[in-house]
Each structure stands twice: as structure tokens, then as C-alpha cells.
Structure 1
């Protein structure tokens, strides 16, 4: 463990760093599927997946749902709209907001990618038995709840 400025610290052993590395590698492993086969980015897939799972959504709601920032959502939406995979319409309740929906081509693409993503998920988890998967799910839920609590507390 390196000790600089009198404080011992090993970034590689720091939980938030390890989790970020894990999340990035897992995301990259799944992104290979749709980037290589369908030419869409991770951000574009997350927008498609959000709409595929939830139906029509306001663009601002996709940010929170997908963990993408506003600019990433904006770029992905523009690209998906250009590719005729989503449509954008004014929100009757808030004229400033835009409601996004999948086009028929977007729904078809979503239905093609989902089984591939699910198969990759299974591949990623294949070294864990059922009990380990349950423990991982419970641990992730607990850490997420705690992190959310800390964020809300400030």
C-alpha cells in the first residue's frame, strides 16, 4: 500500500473505485454486442432500453432512469431520431418537455438486442452459482440503498 502525504491509500482496493471498474467492464462487455452488430452506442442503447421497458418517457426522465447525463441523452436522442428509431413530441402537460417513443423500427431493434443482452448477462454471471447470485443481488440492493440514503442526507 502506497503512503503519500502520510495517508495510506490503495486506489485498487478502494470499494468505489473497484465498483466503477467493474461497472465499466461489464458495460463494455455488453456494449460490444449492440455496437458491433447494430452500430449504436451505450447511450443510445440505454435510451432505447428505457423506452422499450417503460413506453413513452420525457427526455428528462431518461437521464435519471439511465444514469446518463442530460447531454448524453440529448446526443443519443438526436442520433436515434435521425435513424428513425424514436420519435419526439411535445408533452401536453408541459410544452417545454418532449415525450419520446420508439418507432416500429426502434421496437424491432429493441426486441433484437434484448435476448443478446440477456445472454451476455448470463455469460457474465456463469461462474456464480444460484446462492452467490442471490447474495450479490442482496448486497447490491443494500449498497444502493445506503448510497441513496447518503446522497439524500448530503
Structure 2
């Protein structure tokens, strides 16, 4: 990368967070290639692991992707028997998405891999520094989840307020 560019943006919060996120994704992707899931697919599985049986529309909102994009991911995951879609008993127009048992072991594998990448990223950082860093990031997220009028921003899920 251009050294002048690096120096100019080294102190930029947005660029630093973006670059760290990019490197975390790259490291995770590189180490998870043998599993045979794309990042988008494992993201779907991870979201379902936290909220199995969620409506397809809500899942798209949580993942910040278009419903048609999610539908394509779900089609592929369903063909490979990672997930299944069922009719919503409360809304006949909606579908709910569930993990299949096959997904449990891969989620555990991906979780261990995520812990490994996190450990690599936090090398040389004390537990206290890590805790302070996380608290700072959560405070920044909370600040950004409120609009100028002090109301909850619709870009944030309701869980953001509870953390």
C-alpha cells in the first residue's frame, strides 16, 4: 500500500476499523477454505445459530442484505442440507429458517477457528487492554445507534441497546 496514504489515514478511526475488519475476514477466509462454505454462507449459519427459526425477512434485515440475495444463499444452503425453510405458522406469506443438525458441527469448527483468529489478532494485548478496547467499541456502536434527536437508529438491532 502507498506509504503516504497509510500515514495520512493511520489515525482515522473509520479506516482503522475497516482495515482491521478486512484483515480479520481475510485471515478467517484463508483458514476456513477447506470447509467449503463462502463467507456469506457461514454468516447465514452464524446468524441462525444465534436465532434459529427466524423469519427470512428478519434475517435479511439483520444481515443488512437484500431479501433476494439472502434467498439465493438460502437456496444453496438448503440444497446442501445445511438449513431448511418452513412455513411460518403465524404468517402464511412468511418462511422461517432453521439449522439442520449437519450445521452444528461446522458452526463449532468455525467458532474454534474464529477464536484462533481472535487470539492471533490480540497477540501482545493484555486482557485488561482487550476488555477496555471492547468496551470502547461497544460505546462507539451505542453512540452511533442513536440519531441526532436521541432516538434509536434503525440501522441497529434492538440487542445493541442491551449490550
TM-score, normalization: structure 1? 0.80
**Mean CA deviation greater in 42-51 or 114-123:** 114-123
1:95 paired with 2:92, answer yes
Which residue is equivalent to 2:19?
21
1:129 paired with 2:130, answer no
Change (3 A) 1:11 1:121: closer
Change (3 A) 1:134 1:28: same
Q: Which runs of 5+ in 1 are unaligned?
A: 3-9
Deviation at 1:92, TM superposition (A): 1.1
Structure richer in helix, relative to its length: 1
TM-score, normalization: structure 2? 0.76
Deviation at 1:127, TM superposition (A): 2.3
Q: Figure out how many residues of one structure are paired with residues of the other and give that number.
A: 145
Deviation at 1:68, TM superposition (A): 4.1
Moved over 3 A (4+): 10-14, 64-72
The CA distance in 1 between the partners of 2:31 and 2:64, in whole Å, is: 20
After TM superposition, the structure 1 = structure 2 runs for residues 31-42 of structure 1, keeping only pairs within 5 Å, are 31-34=29-32, 36-42=33-39
| CA RMSD of superposed structures (Å) | 2.4
Change (3 A) 1:57 1:21: same
Deviation at 1:69, TM superposition (A): 4.3
